[in-house]
Amino acid sequence: MADIASSPPRWQPAALLVLRLLAVIVGGYYLTAALVSLGAAGMAGIGLPGSEAVVLAAMLGFLVYLGLLIWGFAERRMRLLCLVFLGGPLLAQGLLYLQAGG
Amino acid sequence: MGAGFRASMNWLHTWAGVVVGAVLFAIFWMGTLSVFDREIDRWMMPETRLAPVAEPASLDRIREVAQALAGDAPSLFISLPTERQPVLGIGFRKDGEFVSRNVDPATATLLPERGTLGGTGFIFPFHFSLNIKLWSIGYWLVGLAAMAMLALLVSGVIVHVKIFADFFTLRTDKKAPRVALDLHNVTGVLGLPFHFMITLSGLIIFVLVYFPNAWQGTFPDRAGYFKEAFGSYSRPKANQPGDPMSLDALSAEAVRLWGGGTPLYLRLWHTGDANAVVEFRRSYEDRVTMNTDTLYLDAATGAVLSRQTQQPIMTAQRFLSGLHFIQFRHWTLRWIYFALGLSGCVLIATGFLFWLESRRKRHEKQGLKGLGVVEGLTIGATTGIILATLSFFIANKLLPPGMAERQSYEAWAFYLLWAAGFAHGWIRRGQAWAEQSWAIAAAALCAPVLNALITGDHLARSLSKGQWAVAGMDLALLALAAIAALTARKLQRRPATTSRAMPGRAQGSTRGSTREGRQHA
């Protein structure tokens, strides 16, 4: 327990902290929302009634977002973090766009 | 996932708690009161303190009363009395505003205008929207706070390695930070399943508010999704006068179709028209799941036009919602929810206290200012909101009946006192705790006295008449007064701990607290 105090998280620079907060909270939400839409489409695709798939995916969305929040505040590799929380929503939205078009 | 992970979680737990703690306390406090929102309604609306009736007035008679008031409103809403709400409600839209009135179910006469938002109109919506309607900001703030609460629960479990030992640890003889931490751990660990369930189910209720575009990959448009999920029914007006059946006969038909299930409310569409429709929503008093079983009957013939039930996953969503809304009849569980809600309030408040007490000495030495800001925030958020709530109750008794915009003044009494609670906390710092506790004790004593003087329903009478809602509210207020007075006395005997106190006197030895202080620094 004692070594906790001696190894503080290295997020001291304020700018990095703000970037992390925005990426994890806002980016994480958009990533979750896109995953919910995709997940619903996927579950509907394998035979679940559409409205049921949407509710199930959205309910699970809260747990996905919770997982992303916890990971986002524990991960120290800032680049990986930005890749997931900024690139992830874009990728998922792109997939959703393709899926809706096709 | 070694010490680095735990340090991150420690950081997250500390700062998420400080940043959203005030909003979380408000949500938990209002949610705890909402467990008894209808009972608070009885206390705040004396004209609705009616004895339950075995044989309520006929629905046709109620329709006449509503129609006389509503004129040519496109639809009429009638809610039926329940054990917790002994009045009928009627509602309709007039000049763009929703008007609702209470009706005595025994005589089918209109009760005077409410003149108050009461527990169901102020406290309950405050719980999930902070009563901020602009751009739904309130919903999103509450949603964000709820997600933060889930993250706090997870990070809290990770931070506390000795979770099993914490279960049995409450050392009241120790110094303030240690007691605060023990109490934080006991309420946090003991209440963990409840806190997780109540927070997650609260989010799940608003699943479509928080994920408004979840249908995007599955349905071509939002309307298509809503039609399949909720499938409301409507048909155009015929523009010819109709000959409606008796509402009581239609209601009996609904009960028969549901195999004994009773209606909770009904809505009349296109009243007087040949295409009039009566919508019946089934009561869920007898089960956890808040079903959305709805029947649409032809008002002229009683023929079933549409019948809605939910599919399995939607039923699960309604079950989780029901766990949160507790609309089922179960007084023991209702009290357990109340107690667990209060334990959530203690959890949040002691988290703040531990943050403050474990830093006070160090911050004083380093000349940091942040402590005062957080201390004022904590005071306003905890004792301040309790005081504001009591001011809302007292205003309800003191404002003259029939006064214009009476309900807005009640709300103002709440918000002004709340703002004053923060201001007082920031100005008086450490002394504010005891002062606000005394104020709570006085206000909580004052409210039942005013209730007795103004409505005449003093405890002896409400108890002997079986007015449990009124008596329970009075007794709860008196209990609050006693607890607040004891707390205030205890606080005043304690050596002062603010920056204004003599440096040598502050907190005495902190040998027991430095370790935890370092952990949470």
For testing the chain B interface, which of A59, A65, A96, A99 should be mutated: the one with the most B CBs within 10 Å? A59
Q: CA-nearest residue of chain A to B204?
A: A59
Judge if B100 and B145 occupy the same domain. Answer: no
Both tokens of B109, joined, read 């006469």
Nearest C-alpha neighbor of B91 from the set B56, B113, B66, B64: B66
User: Do B151 and B187 reside in the same domain of the chain?
Assistant: yes
Q: Is the CA virtual torsion B341, B345, B350, B355 positive or negative?
A: positive
Whole-number pLDDT of residue B324: 96
Is B156 in the same domain as B249?
Answer: no
Q: Which helix (H) or strand (E) holds B205?
A: helix B192-205
Nearest to B519 among A1, A32, A41 (CB): A1
Distance (Å, whole) CA B183 – CA B466: 37
pLDDT band at A99 (very low <50, low <70, confident <90, very high): confident
In angstroms, the CA B303 to CA B253 distance is 9
From chain A, the residues in CB contact with B225 under 8 A are: 50-51, 54
- Report d(CA B70, CA B467) in Å as an integer: 32
Asked if residue B450 belongs to a domain, the reply is yes
SS3 state at B516:
helix
> Residue B521 domain-assigned?
no
Same domain, B121 and B37: yes
Looking at residue B169, what is its pLDDT?
64
Distance CA B323, CA B122 (A): 21
How far apart (Å, rounded) are the C-alpha atoms in residues B450 and B218? 57
Q: Which residues of B touch A40 (CB under 8 A)?
A: 214-215, 217-218
Residues of chain B contacting residue A65, judged by C-beta atoms under 8 Å apart: 147
Q: Number of folded domains in chain B?
A: 4
Question: Buried (b) or exposed (e) across B156-170, using 16+ Cβ within 10 A?
Answer: bbbbbeeeeebeeee
The residue of chain B nearest to residue A39, with distances taken between CA atoms, is B217
Best of A51, A56, A68 to disrupt the B interface (most B CBs within 10 Å) is: A51
C-alpha span between B42 and B469 (Å, rounded): 6
Q: Tokens standing for B15?
A: 């700062």
The boundaries of the domain holding residue B446 are 387-396+403-505
**Predicted confidence (pLDDT) at residue A5 exceeds the cutoff of 50:** no
Backbone angles phi, psi at B435, to 5 degrees: -65, -45
Q: Do B215 and A40 touch (CB under 8 A)?
A: yes
Domain match, B353 and B453 both: no
Residue B370 belongs to some domain of the structure? no
Task: Tell me if B211 sits within 8 A of A58, measured CB to CB.
Answer: yes
Of A7, A25, A52, the CB nearest to B4: A7
Give the gap in angstroms from C-alpha B282 to the nearest C-alpha of chain A: 21
At residue B508, the pLDDT reads 35
Task: Say yes or no: B126 and B216 in one domain.
Answer: yes
Is the minimum CB–CB distance between A21 and chain B shorter than 8 Å? no
- Cα–Cα distance between B520 and B14 in angstroms, integer? 7
B319 and B343 assigned to the same domain: no
Domain assignment present for B466 = yes
Instruction: Give the list of residues 6+ apart from residue B143 with CB closer than 8 angstroms, or none.
Output: B203, B206, B209, B210
DSSP state of B504: G
B71 within some domain: yes
In this predicted structure, the answer to whether residue A81 has a pLDDT above a threshold of 70 is yes
Q: Is residue B518 part of a domain?
A: no
For tokens 């448009």, name the residue: B221
**Optimal mutation site among A62, A95, A97, A98, interface B, most CBs of chain B within 10 A:** A62
Return the half-sphere exposure (C-beta side, CA atoms, 13 A cut-off) of residue B442: 6
Hey, are the CB atoms on B217 and A33 less than 8 Å from each other? no
Which residue has 């209060």 as its token pair?
B342
Q: What is the mean pLDDT of each run of 10 residues along chain B (521 residues)?
A: 76 93 96 96 94 85 90 88 91 86 92 90 96 92 97 91 63 71 85 95 94 89 85 84 88 92 92 90 88 89 88 92 93 95 95 88 83 93 97 96 91 97 93 94 97 94 92 97 95 62 35 36 35
Same domain, B26 and B132: yes
B316 to chain A: nearest residue by CA? Answer: A56
- The CA-based angle B110-B113-B115, given to 5 degrees, is 160
- Tokens representing B190? 């003991």
